[in-house]
Amino acid sequence: MPPQPITLLAYGSLAELYQHYIRELVEASPIASICGCRIHCYEHHFVHMVKLFGPEHTRLEFPEERHRILEETVGFGTYEHEERRSVRLLMAIETMRFPDFVVRTPNLATADRAFIKEFACSQYPYMVVLVRREKSILTLCTAQPTRRRNMKQWMAGEILFPKTPQPPLEVAV
């Protein structure tokens, strides 16, 4: 299948980015995937999806930060985030819904599987969405745009989807 075109998300503030996340992921949860999985997305995953940090690069506890996030209606204040993840938020949703591959790779620490999709982007052509199993449900962990040269590590492991043999990805060694 040819790579999907990319759609970048535009936002002007932390509150606006958070509202996009809520509308596109939390309110649409669980996300139904063509591989048969249903992925639950919760508010607190926002800090992982955009790699949000507080002042002096401190890690955040979401329940305490929610009201402050909503107050940042102009810019990001003292917060930092990873823009390459944030602008590709819609690509993460597309990856969960229509993955090219779902892989259980040995390098996953807290996640159970990686949903992978190729996009028509020269810099970060792949989106990798990490999902964990919590009892009987799958929940979102995080997502990251990935360069072609890093795909070998993501494809090493048990391919859960598609079940039929596929030609190997062309990955840089």
Taking only the tens of pLDDT, the chain with its 173 residues reads 678 888 899 999 999 999 999 999 999 999 999 999 999 999 999 999 999 988 777 777 788 889 999 999 999 999 999 999 999 999 999 999 999 999 999 888 889 999 999 999 889 999 999 999 989 999 999 999 999 999 999 999 999 999 665 555 555 44
Prior bond of 30 cis (ω within 30°): yes
C-alpha dist (Å) from residue 127 to 3, 71, 160: 11, 30, 17
pLDDT at 173 (0 to 100): 43
The answer to whether the beta carbons of residues 120 and 91 sit under 8 Å apart is: no
pLDDT at 62 (0 to 100): 80
CB atoms within 10 A of CB 166: 12
Rounded to two decimals, what is the model's pTM? 0.88
Strand partners, 59: none
pLDDT at 19 (0 to 100): 97
Q: Where are the alpha helices (DSSP H) in the chain?
A: 14-21, 46-49, 62-71, 83-86, 89-97, 151-155
